[in-house]
Structure 1
Amino acid sequence: MALFLMILRKMAKNRWLELSLLIGLIISVALASSMPIYTHAILQRMLIKDLEVQQSDTQRFPGLVNNHAFFTEVKDGANRMRDAEAYMSEHIKQFGLPILQSTITRSTKTFELTPSDPSKVDPKEKRYGEITAMTDLEKHIRLVDGVMPGAKLVDGVYEAWVFPELLTKLKIVLGNEVTVKSEEQNRNIRIKPVAVIDRADLADVYWTTNTMPDLSSRFFIPASLFEQELTKGSKFIDQLTYWNYALDYHQLKLEGLDTYITANAQMEEYAWNHLETYKSFNQTIVTLTTYDDKEKKLRILLWSLNVPVSILLAFYLFMVANLITERQKTEIAVLRSRGASRTQILLGYVIEGILLGGIALLVGPLLGLQLTQILGASNGFLSFVQRAAMEVKLNREAYQYGVIAVVASVGMTLIPAVLATRVSIVGHKQTLARKNKLSFVHKIYLDVVLLAVSMYLLQSFNRRMGDLVALGLDSMDMKVDPLLFVVPAIFIFALGLVVLRIYPWIIQLIYIIGRKWWPPYLYSTLLQVGRSTTQYQFIMLFIIMTLATGIFSASAARTMNKNVEEKIHYKNGADIVLQTTWDNDAPPPQSGPPGAAGEANASGSASGGNKRVQYVEPPFMPFSQLTGVESAARVFKKQDAYIALGKDTKKTTLMGIDTDDFGRTAWFRDQLLDHHFYEYLNVLATDSKAVLISRSIADEIGAKVGDVVRIGWNDVEGATSVVYGIIDYWPSWNPNPVLAAPTSSSSTSSSTSTKPTKVDMPKLVIGHLSFIQNNLAVEPYDVWLKLKPDMTSQALYELLEQKHMSVTRLVDTNMMVIRSKNDPFQLAVNGVMTLGFLIAISISFIGFLLYWLLSLYGQILQFGVLRAMGISFRQLIGMLVAEQLLTSGAAVIIGMITGNAASRLFVPLFQLTFDSSSQVPPFQVRFDPQDQLHLYVIVIIMIGIGLLLLGTMLSRIKIHQAVKLGED
């Protein structure tokens, strides 16, 4: 108890230092515990978001669980169907999700249909169809024409609903009775369509979960009638049964993934064991099975991103603990000299660490919960938006991470105490008299070793990156190597130590240069800083690492965000890329029984393969006149074109443009070409036969400016053009090499030899659209749109719908950029780096003030003596300013240089996290002046507040009190 009271008194005596240490511990625990919280929250958001995007892209409901099986009348088909149905309806509850819709669909196989009255329809026309029943169909349709069918046979006839497409396809009208001959039962089935129906709501889950391949050949009869007449007993007829269940995927939780996957596997196992011919469809499973891998990658990414700020926190904790220990070294030395063991002394520090660590463990995870909200709201580096709140919650893993952080942090704070207990009172006095000795790190040349290691790893990364880009290899999208974040932190730490190794020589040089002119107060400051290098190294290295890490984090986040956005803009070429419907004379698809359409089309294509389709160009002007559209351009692309120079012919992509419209509409980054993008368009506009060719064409066939070439494609007569320029990049064109698939050749032996992979260089020819249309052919082109700044994508969609513009394909660049910002890995980069930046600045500010306030208290006697010797208050302030400039100011400059060097050297390596073959335009390191301005403002405020506090405290020093304190 006495020991505990002594510890509490000691903590109260150093309350500000203890509070600073507690803040560092709490931040460490919060940062560690936020990792599993954020991982869970972002994966949960990504899971639902991926399923929503999947629904938008495929127009299929992600929560659909579908099984269908074929049952025959033999082997008791009706009973097996009922057993399977009972199992499905019960087992679907095992998925653990609310059931939004449950539908059972039964359908006969495809029959040939014969008109009951050949005089009313063409009897020579081949017709095929199926009889189908869907549970609750009448609740989800609207009657377009006719009357509702009867629930029983009407004079031996099945009355049916049909969709409008069936009447068109079979060339019949309502009331035309058709007959199906069932060979199995040797009886005829008569069907009469009496009602034309359509979906009541296209967005109804009932229809989005429908997996039947075709509705245009189906006669729908009431489910009860189908069950009674075609399923039960001796009337059973061969049929397909679909079990469709729509589950509420928005309620799917990460904790329930295993349950969901297991339930689906059990359902498939049942179908495998009990059903002869079946098929399962669960699109969600494909998404869910990848989440373990995504979680591992995200954890690696989070730990990697937090490496720099974790090093800063460890350094901060060590610095504060060292300051506490420094103030108690005399006390520790006295206790050791009076017989106290090292264990007894360390026990007090351990208890102190447990007390502070316990408080940190209580508060830290709650703070980590709030930090996760900051991560989720990030839309870029130091940018936040009102995004839907993430589902965050504390879990056992968060507290496990917190405990690990507490143990590691408390262990870090005990290091100075362990070192202090090894020193006797004599050794302590000797240390006080030798403040200018080298630190342990400098003695063993750890700074040089770490710098050499970081440079070696940098060279290794550069070699790997060069191979990826040169060979067009895929680095796997967002595959994160933790060393990409660890190595820069090591580099910053090592370079800071190296500079601090030579910094005393710089101070000495400054002292020697102006030795005859320095005023007394500056003379004293230079001697103080030059002879006490170890004393100032902690705070200088701390500031260096804070600033350098902040600059590196800002540059890395900005670079990754900007390059992702530019990659999307470049790949698409404009804000909106769309294609509209073109009228043509292509033959319509042939109709027939299932499986016959493909054969008919294939034969038709073969017979008419030499006939080129003729297209009619739709009006272009309406697109350029749309409200909110700044400019529009026609862009024609032909992938399988050719270019010929003499006898040398190469396959290429041919692009046709209108130079003026294209220049106003297309997105292109500056400095990608030898001259400005517009200059190439101006050169191209001078001659209708002019073309621009890619560098790959010039290299492979030796074409140069002024050469006459021939361009064209199959089925058209080529045209002569003149090369007016050679380009390396062009909007929407990827010049990076494509790695061709390896080819294998067989020999007489059993072994197979594989030929070396071949790198295929993409090729491009740009010409005038009008020249291509007049001399080659008119074929469909894309319409590129550049939107006005205040125009939204949603407004454009509504405008296109209002004007009834038929759009067959649309690419929205802005929506793709937004989707990329919502990517969990991108969110992690922005959120964690923003958080790390804010934490670094916060602890830097606390550490800075704490260090200098304690330093001032340590120099009170010196200042009192100087004042007694006649040094004025203004000169004392000058000493403080000079000391700040020579230490903190120098550290700021070194930190800026180190941060910029780390960014220039290591940020380009982040392109390893992307697919190098598709990273166009080239990866470029970005610095935002606003980020550095924020840093500089914070540093100026920090140093200004420090000087103000120090000056205020200095003004209150009483000379007689200072001298008296020295005597005591």
Structure 2
Amino acid sequence: MFHLMLQKILHKKWMAASLLIGNILLVAIAVSHPMYQEASRNRMLTDEFANYMKDNNAYPMIIDVEGLIRKNAGITDTERIRNLANTASEQFGIPETEKVCVRGLVSSVATPTAMYDRSSNELKLVIGSMSDIDKHSSIVSGKMYSNTITEDGYIEAVISQSAMTDSNLLIGEEMYFKSIKYAEKDLVKIRIVGVFTNSEDNDNYWVKSPSAYNNYLFIDPALFEQGFMANNTKKYNVNEHWYTLFDYTALKPYQIDNIIEITEQALRDNNNVYSNMATPDYIELMKDYAVKEKQISVTLAILQVPVIVLLCAFLFMISRQMLEMEENEIAILKSRGAGRLQIIWLYFLQSSFLALISFLAGLPLGKLICKVLGASSAFLEFAAKRNLRVEYSAEVLYYGLAAVLVSMIMTLLPVLKRSTASIVSVKRKRQRSKKPLWQKLFLDVIMLGVSIYGYYTFSSQEDELLVRVLSGQSLDPLIFLSSSLFILGAGLFSLRLHSLFVRLLYNIGKHSWKPASYTSFLQLIRTGGKQAFIMVFLVLTVAFGMFNTTIARTILANAEKNNDYNSGADIVMKEFWKNNAVYASHDPTQEVELSYTEPDFGKYNDLPGVKSMAKVYKSENTVVSTGKQEKPVTILGINTKDFGETTTLDRKLLDYNYREYLNVLSKNSDAVLVSINFRDKLGVKLGDQITYTITDDIKTGSGTGIVYGFFEYWPGYQKNKIIISSDGTSKSEEQYMVVAHLSAVQEKVGVFPYEIWMNMGGNTESVYSFIKDKNIQVTKFVDAVENKEAISREALFQGTNGILTMSFITILLICGIGYLIYWTLSIRSRELLFGIFRAMGMGKNEVIHMLVNEQVLTGVVAIIFGLVIGWISSRLFVPIIQIAYSATDRSLPLELITRDSDIARLLIIIGIVFAACLAVLIRQVYSMKISQALKLGED
């Protein structure tokens, strides 16, 4: 039986190869889902921690516990924190990168042995030790301490630079502690031998910087233990502080729940005066991640459904084609005594053999697909700089086995029906022409009806869907399924229209068509059902391609536009402003006016690469009154010329050109522009006077303005702000804005700290080095360019681009294979017919012309149908799907984006595949043994 199966495969090697390719693709895509999902989750989790470290300049995954060993008491509490610090890595299941133990005696009085110029000859210092300090520090002056007591009885110590300056200590200085004895014998004598600093700026070992230890005398840890903690010594109060840092890059999503549970239990256990644990930042990071992870998992899973369905349909189509070619063989086997079970077993062996090869080849291909998806920066674009860390797992194998099982079912289903066929029934069947099942059941109409119902249902619930997504829930999967059902239903419905179109075209030129055209029309009319499957694939390839590129472009472009709009400029920063609040609070006369000291703005003229910049005063603590009513607003104080050169705004967002609004504002120093919702809420009209009151950290001031215009959008203005409460629910709050002259605000209210908005021409790298070189203290910093680049790197956006790209390439591949198979079989089955045509006087070029006509009437028409369906589905469903990618800072109206270049690229790719298939078919026609066919035709 196995030998017979191999002969069958070799006899129809191209069909078997096509079936094998379909199986491999199905397995690869199936296993790529859990692999890509896990890799995306891992990268998203790592990015959460990396971004936190970048934004907060603090290591994100650290356990910080502190215990007090009490004099003449037990050390139970301290033992508990030691145990936590030493076993947390094992409990968490992730490696530790650093473990730091800082010990110190409770602050004691030190008496220098020599007199120095100090206000007091007694110093309050801490004798301490720090594990591995010698490996993570560099000596600025002097040397590192020794691990033994000197011959004259001194313990060597090192100090930080801050200890040297704050405590006025010197290298070589010696001191003793009257109240402390070393090993309960001699008084402790310390000699300072060196000053240290951190050896590397970005060394995570230094949870607290060396400057934080401004009263510590660090001695060798072994000497510290021997002198103050050996033999269960309880003569002194010792603070013991443990910092355990974990490798967050090794953290896996499935470990999160366990880590949170262990950490929260540790927080409850260590919440007293003798043992205390700081609440780790990673708990909040992990909880936020869990919400995002759920959202991305559902979204990416649903996006893969259409391509998996089409792959199953492709396998069904190929296996059916093979069985149609083998119907005679099955009938002959039946006539020679083969039973139904034997025939099914033969095809089961064939299916199992192909499935095994598919499984073995599909696993590495799935991994390759994941790596390609991880490099996707946009639809059909690969420019990401980082690779995904893709790994095999038990779940991957389960998905692969499930795909193999599905492929076997899809290939065996047609066998069950045909295994009962006899020679007579096969001949009778070929004489009958049946409508496809989907046409009889009107599946296309049903799918269209369900999808349109879903569209109207979800479009009427857009606000509720937005709140649902912003609350951390995933979008209803039926939204994605509705769009897929619409495309599938419309694709099938287009076949009905195609049949009518061909008949109409045929009837129009029935009496004038040339023989080649006439024959091609008759061929399509009589065998329309046979090319239905391949036409559907072609329609769906174009439709899904257009739909996918619209989704990819729309979600990314809208996110980037919102980022640019909300930021206002390439760089938005605010310097630290000094004030006299402390001095004024100690003034007994209360005559000192509170004020700020403005930093030098002129230094920014030396910033490399800056195109323009503007001073912008922005305050959200402002109340505007119109006499009877008042509202909290955001006030924006600007210089119209500088602001106009630094910012941009899409012309479509305002009734007039953005610059015209600035020109109107510049006409009067008292002029203000207000948001339209403020006008509608308070009934403000042009020419009305408003009063604004600004409240700052140290002072309050008021001013007036005359309304000169209204706007709906303005750089940095968010009309509706989404507020997410602690319980996860969200609500929308309306925001109001007033734009005034900066000079007028400063004249009436006073000089407040303003922001600096910069146009850097899209390159902001020089700003970072400038801030560092000039030692500028920054209290606010927004880099819109970096944030825009970060959007395309987000797991949800990158995952979506990757899945959509993979889906399109897969559909294109199976469409090309299916298209080639169909027309190859069609030409071979019509070899006798071509011979008859040649015998009747039709030339070879006319045969080619006939085939080209058929290609145009099927392929080109299918592409047109696909473009129309893709365009309609994009307009209907992309605005709803966009909600899944909404952020709390969404300010601009949705803009559907389908670039002509994307459609051109899509059609070029399809055209190349189409042309390649056509070239193969023409070559087959020219390589046919036409003389034999001609002889058959003459006979």
1:492 pairs with one of 487, 495, 501 = 487
Does structure 2 conserve the Cα–Cα contact (< 8 Å) formed by 1:141 and 1:197?
A: no
Q: Which moved more, 1:490-499 or 1:385-394?
A: 385-394
1:39 pairs with one of 37, 40, 50 = 37
Aligned residue for 2:679, secondary structure, equals: helix
1:452 pairs with one of 446, 449, 452 = 449
- The answer to whether the aligner puts 1:619 opposite 2:613 as a matched pair is no
Shift of 1:328: 2.2
2:658 pairs with one of 667, 672, 677 = 677
Which residue in the other structure is 1:374 paired with? 372
1:552 pairs with one of 547, 552, 555 = 547
Once the two structures are superposed, residues 887-939 of structure 1 have per-residue CA deviations (whole angstroms, 9 ceiling, x without a partner) of 11111110111111111111111232134642222232221322211221123
Which residue in the other structure is 2:351 paired with? 353
Aligned residue for 1:780, secondary structure, equals: coil
1:134 pairs with one of 127, 130, 133 = 130
2:628 pairs with one of 647, 650, 666 = 647
Once the two structures are superposed, residues 25-74 of structure 1 have per-residue CA deviations (whole angstroms, 9 ceiling, x without a partner) of 11111111122222333333334333333322232234533321123224
Which residue in the other structure is 1:881 paired with? 852
Equivalents in 2 of 1:540, 1:689: separation in Å? 67
Distance 1:605 1:737, change over 3 A: farther
Structure 2 residue identity aligned to 1:31: I
Equivalents in 2 of 1:291, 1:763: separation in Å? 32
Shift of 1:941: 2.6
Does structure 2 conserve the Cα–Cα contact (< 8 Å) formed by 1:641 and 1:651?
A: yes
Within-5 A mapping of 1:375-414: 375-385=373-383, 387-414=385-412
Once the two structures are superposed, residues 782-808 of structure 1 have per-residue CA deviations (whole angstroms, 9 ceiling, x without a partner) of 11222235x352x43223323444434
Equivalents in 2 of 1:587, 1:379: separation in Å? 52
- The answer to whether the aligner puts 1:763 opposite 2:744 as a matched pair is no
Does structure 2 conserve the Cα–Cα contact (< 8 Å) formed by 1:734 and 1:762?
A: yes
Within-5 A mapping of 1:110-125: none
Aligned residue for 1:671, secondary structure, equals: helix
Which residue in the other structure is 1:7 paired with? 5
Which residue in the other structure is 1:727 paired with? 711
Aligned residue for 2:822, secondary structure, equals: helix
- The answer to whether the aligner puts 1:696 opposite 2:669 as a matched pair is no
- The answer to whether the aligner puts 1:587 opposite 2:587 as a matched pair is no
Does structure 2 conserve the Cα–Cα contact (< 8 Å) formed by 1:691 and 1:725?
A: yes
Distance 1:945 1:253, change over 3 A: closer
Equivalents in 1 of 2:811, 2:760: separation in Å? 40
Which residue in the other structure is 2:514 paired with? 519
Aligned residue for 1:641, secondary structure, equals: strand
Which residue in the other structure is 1:243 paired with? 242
Does structure 2 conserve the Cα–Cα contact (< 8 Å) formed by 1:476 and 1:914?
A: no
Does structure 1 conserve the Cα–Cα contact (< 8 Å) formed by 2:351 and 2:408?
A: yes
Once the two structures are superposed, residues 512-563 of structure 1 have per-residue CA deviations (whole angstroms, 9 ceiling, x without a partner) of 3233332333233223222332122111111111111111111112222222
Which residue in the other structure is 1:810 paired with? 781
Equivalents in 1 of 2:262, 2:463: separation in Å? 47
Distance 1:694 1:115, change over 3 A: farther
Shift of 1:270: 8.1
Q: Which moved more, 1:261-270 or 1:544-553?
A: 261-270
Shift of 1:157: 10
Structure 2 residue identity aligned to 1:920: S
Equivalents in 1 of 2:600, 2:819: separation in Å? 68
Does structure 2 conserve the Cα–Cα contact (< 8 Å) formed by 1:633 and 1:662?
A: yes
Equivalents in 2 of 1:139, 1:541: separation in Å? 68
Equivalents in 2 of 1:760, 1:923: separation in Å? 19
Which residue in the other structure is 2:529 paired with? 534
Which residue in the other structure is 2:922 paired with? 951
Shift of 1:449: 0.9
Within-5 A mapping of 1:154-303: 163=160, 165=162, 197-201=195-199, 203=201, 205=203, 207-210=205-208, 214-216=212-214, 218=216, 220=218, 223=221, 226-227=224-225, 230-231=228-229, 236-252=235-251, 277-279=275-277, 282-284=280-282, 287=285, 297-303=295-301
Equivalents in 1 of 2:47, 2:448: separation in Å? 43
Does structure 2 conserve the Cα–Cα contact (< 8 Å) formed by 1:475 and 1:912?
A: no
Equivalents in 2 of 1:508, 1:779: separation in Å? 78
Equivalents in 1 of 2:215, 2:881: separation in Å? 55
Structure 1 residue identity aligned to 2:130: M
Equivalents in 2 of 1:426, 1:295: separation in Å? 59
Structure 1 residue identity aligned to 2:237: D
Does structure 2 conserve the Cα–Cα contact (< 8 Å) formed by 1:473 and 1:916?
A: no
Equivalents in 2 of 1:812, 1:605: separation in Å? 39
1:660 pairs with one of 611, 635, 641 = 641
Distance 1:453 1:731, change over 3 A: same
Aligned residue for 2:633, secondary structure, equals: strand
Does structure 1 conserve the Cα–Cα contact (< 8 Å) formed by 2:161 and 2:197?
A: no
Gap runs ≥5 in structure 1: 183-187, 590-603, 744-755
Which residue in the other structure is 1:897 paired with? 868
Which residue in the other structure is 2:183 paired with? none
- The answer to whether the aligner puts 1:857 opposite 2:855 as a matched pair is no
Equivalents in 1 of 2:587, 2:269: separation in Å? 45
Shift of 1:374: 0.7
Q: Which moved more, 1:148-157 or 1:562-571?
A: 148-157
Which residue in the other structure is 1:842 paired with? 813
Structure 1 residue identity aligned to 2:759: K
Distance 1:585 1:27, change over 3 A: same
Distance 1:424 1:670, change over 3 A: farther
Equivalents in 2 of 1:84, 1:952: separation in Å? 79
Shift of 1:363: 0.9
Structure 1 residue identity aligned to 2:733: D
Does structure 2 conserve the Cα–Cα contact (< 8 Å) formed by 1:476 and 1:915?
A: no
Does structure 2 conserve the Cα–Cα contact (< 8 Å) formed by 1:468 and 1:916?
A: no
Distance 1:210 1:391, change over 3 A: same
Shift of 1:303: 2.3
Distance 1:139 1:319, change over 3 A: closer
Equivalents in 2 of 1:611, 1:426: separation in Å? 111
Shift of 1:940: 2.5
Q: Which moved more, 1:683-692 or 1:883-892?
A: 683-692
TM-score normalised per structure 2:
0.88
Distance 1:249 1:942, change over 3 A: closer
Structure 1 residue identity aligned to 2:570: D
Q: Which moved more, 1:623-632 or 1:650-659?
A: 623-632
Equivalents in 2 of 1:757, 1:943: separation in Å? 50
Q: Which moved more, 1:827-836 or 1:958-967?
A: 958-967
Equivalents in 2 of 1:770, 1:549: separation in Å? 55
Does structure 2 conserve the Cα–Cα contact (< 8 Å) formed by 1:312 and 1:546?
A: no
Once the two structures are superposed, residues 226-251 of structure 1 have per-residue CA deviations (whole angstroms, 9 ceiling, x without a partner) of 54665567762223211223444445
Equivalents in 2 of 1:239, 1:579: separation in Å? 43
1:777 pairs with one of 750, 755, 765 = 750
Does structure 2 conserve the Cα–Cα contact (< 8 Å) formed by 1:474 and 1:917?
A: no
Once the two structures are superposed, residues 931-960 of structure 1 have per-residue CA deviations (whole angstroms, 9 ceiling, x without a partner) of 211221123233333333333333455555
Q: Which moved more, 1:336-345 or 1:257-266?
A: 257-266
Structure 2 residue identity aligned to 1:641: T
Distance 1:739 1:253, change over 3 A: closer
Does structure 1 conserve the Cα–Cα contact (< 8 Å) formed by 2:622 and 2:692?
A: yes
Aligned residue for 1:208, secondary structure, equals: coil
Does structure 2 conserve the Cα–Cα contact (< 8 Å) formed by 1:718 and 1:776?
A: yes
Identity %: 31
Q: Which moved more, 1:97-106 or 1:958-967?
A: 958-967
Once the two structures are superposed, residues 118-156 of structure 1 have per-residue CA deviations (whole angstroms, 9 ceiling, x without a partner) of 997668x99977554434546655566799889879999
Aligned residue for 1:619, secondary structure, equals: coil
Distance 1:423 1:612, change over 3 A: farther
1:442 pairs with one of 427, 439, 443 = 439
Which residue in the other structure is 1:821 paired with? 792
Distance 1:796 1:314, change over 3 A: same
Equivalents in 2 of 1:534, 1:409: separation in Å? 24
Distance 1:550 1:242, change over 3 A: same
